[in-house]
Structures are given as C-alpha cells and as structure tokens.
Amino acid sequence: MIHTRGLTRVFSLKKKQTVEAVRGIDLDVEPGQLVAFLGPNGAGKSTTLRMLTTLLPPTSGTATVAGRDVARDPAGVRARIGYVGQRNSAGENFRVGDELVTQGRCYGLTSAEARRRAGEMLELLDLGPLAARKPGTLSGGQRRRLDIALGLVHRPGLLFLDEPSTGLDPKSRAEIWSHILRLRETYGTTLFLTTHYLEEADSMAERVIIIDDGRIIAVGTAEQLKNDLAGDRVTLTTHTAQDAGRAAALLGGAAEGVTVRLRAASATAALPEHLRTLEAAGVKVATAETVRPTLDDVFLTLTGRSLSDDDLPA
C-alpha cells in the first residue's frame, strides 16, 4: 500500500542553510495493516506524512502510495487516500453537513451521491444531530469525529491520520479509537497514523515504525521491538546494601542502595533462575518485581533519550 525508497525532504532556510527533515526513508506497508508512526517532535513524522499525502513534494527518493507515484501522479494518489490532519478539517464558516457534501464533490461524486455519503458518514460517526451546526459549536471529540468523517467520505482504501487523538479527554480518545477500529473491521481500510501516546501505539498498532532525526530506527510489532530491543525490567530489593551489591555483581545488574535493577529477555523465565542463584550465594532477597518494557524503553535503548520527555503536543 505504501512503498518508499530513499525518501528525502530538505527544507532551505534563510542564508542558504538547509535542514534535512527526512533522510532517505525506506518504508513498506502492506494492505489492511494498522501502522503507528512514532517519534519525538521534529523527528520527521509530519514531513513524511505530508510527502505521502502529496502535500509536499519530496526532494529526492520515490514513494508509491496506493499504487501511484506521489511525484508523477499526485492526483491518482489523492483519489485513493483519505487524510485526517492534525488540525480541524472543517471550515469555520460552513455547516457540518455542507462540508461533508462538499468533500464528496471534491472527490468527483455527483451531488446526490455526495449527499447520500454525507448522511452515511454522519450516521457512522454519531454526528447525525449536528449536521446543521457549525464546527465552532462542537466539542473536541465531536470535531475530531467530523475530521475522520471528512477523511472517509470517498471510502478510501488507505487512511492517514496525523495525531488523531491528541488533545482529547480519555473518554473521547476511547471513542475515537472504537470508531477507528470499527472502520477497519467494516471496510478493511489500511491505517497509517502518527501518535505520541505510546500506549496507543503499543495496544492498537499491528506494526510500529520508529523515526528519529529523519531516519527510521526500528520497525516491527510492538512485542518484537520490546523483546528484541528493550527486554523486561527486573527489580529486586535486599535487606542490606552489601547484599544488593553482591546480587548486582552475580546477576549483572546495577545496585542502588538496597535496590538492584537488571534486564532480561523474559523476566518470567529469568526470575526463578536468579532467585536460586542468589539463595545459593546466601543473598537474602526481600522483594522481587518484574515489569514488561514499554515502547519508551525501546526508544531509550535505541537513542539514549526518552520519548515521553519531549514529545508533548505541539
């Protein structure tokens, strides 16, 4: 559904300076997948998305989206994809229903068909009673549902969503997600989304692509990435700092006071082994805890930085 080779975008600033926002990205997304595109602010997420949706011409490299080349046939790409941007898709001066009808017409539907689809979308996203209202009178969650409705009017096979749940309260976020997932079940839409909610990428996406500084640094299922790149965290406490030191030396961890921290590919398998080793050495363990890694741990392992520190909404 999406194939890019060496996709690059350079922005020129004043005084002949240039910034390479995206540096030679190779991406492959198969039909029907739900892919989360993850990375800190300024990593090149939005620039990549803007190139894939024909909003921005690439400086070099190629991208085929829904079977069409973004540079050679942008109109062909546009006809086959849907896009839900970070900001509000509906114009402030227009009624919700009118904007949906306009959107259908933008995709070349006849007036009657555009009206029918608009009604369908209002129904699908629980916006029915709001058709005659203007976007300014809607709640944040309702506006976001309207954005998604506008992205779906022409039933695209591939939908791009840029931070679909940012700035929403937990209830609205859950609602948006239930709509997104239902949509996938109904239409089999391929979904490519950026998010900075790590737990969303973790629980919803079948594939996670991590981008940093314009380069893709990891691709895989959340489970694979966590197992391969981060490993589980094991935390033990002892009664004395001396015991903690010995435990850290024996197991290859790091001691801090009476706490010992270490990593293991599979904590559930490693922990009994560790406890036997420590007992044989005469080290008394007070508590033992294991934690599954998060995608943030993956990012930390890869870059030495934490994603959650700087990835606040722009």
Partner 1 sequence: MTTFLRDTVTVFRREFTPAWREPVGLMFEMGQPLLFLFLFGALLDGAVGASWQWFVPGILVMMCLTGPMAAGYYVLMELVGGSMERMMVTPLNRTAMLVGRTMKEMAVLFAQAVLIIVLALPLGFELHWTGVVAGLALLIVFGVGLGALSFVLAVKSAPDGTLFYTVTQVLLFPMLLLSGVLLPLDSGPDWLRVAGGLNPITYIVDAERALFSGQVLGLPVLYGAATAVAVAALGLFLGNRTLRRGV
Interacting residues toward partner 1 by CB under 8 A: 50, 53-57, 75, 78-79, 81-83, 85-95, 98-99, 102-103, 105-108, 147, 150-151
Which of residues 134 and 184 has its CB atom nearest to partner 1 in the complex?
Answer: 134
Q: Supply the minimum distance, in Å, between the C-beta of residue 307 and partner 1.
A: 25
CA distance 13 to 7: 20
Cα–Cα distance measured from residue 206 to residue 190, given in angstroms and rounded to the nearest whole number: 11
Placement of tokens 């309702």 in the chain: 142
What is the smallest separation between the CB atom of 116 and partner 1, expressed in angstroms? 16
User: Smallest distance from the beta carbon of 55 to partner 1, in angstroms?
Assistant: 5
Tokens 């089999």, residue located: 188
Shortest distance (Å) from residue 12 CB to partner 1? 12
Q: Between residues 47 and 238, which has the closer beta carbon with respect to partner 1?
A: 47
Whichever of 55 and 217 has its CB closer to partner 1, that residue is 55
Residue 186 CB, shortest distance to partner 1, in Å, is 22
Around 115, how many Cα atoms within 13 Å sit in the side-chain half-sphere? 2
Is the Cβ of residue 10 or residue 250 nearer to partner 1 in the bound state? Answer: 10
- The span from the CA of 222 to the CA of 114, in Å, is 39
**Cα separation of 63 and 168, whole Å?**
32
Q: How many CB atoms lie within 10 A of CB 99?
A: 22
- Based on CB atoms, which residue is closest to partner 1, 82 or 293? 82
Question: What's the maximum distance between 2 C-alpha atoms anywhere in the chain?
Answer: 81
End-to-end Cα distance, the chain: 29
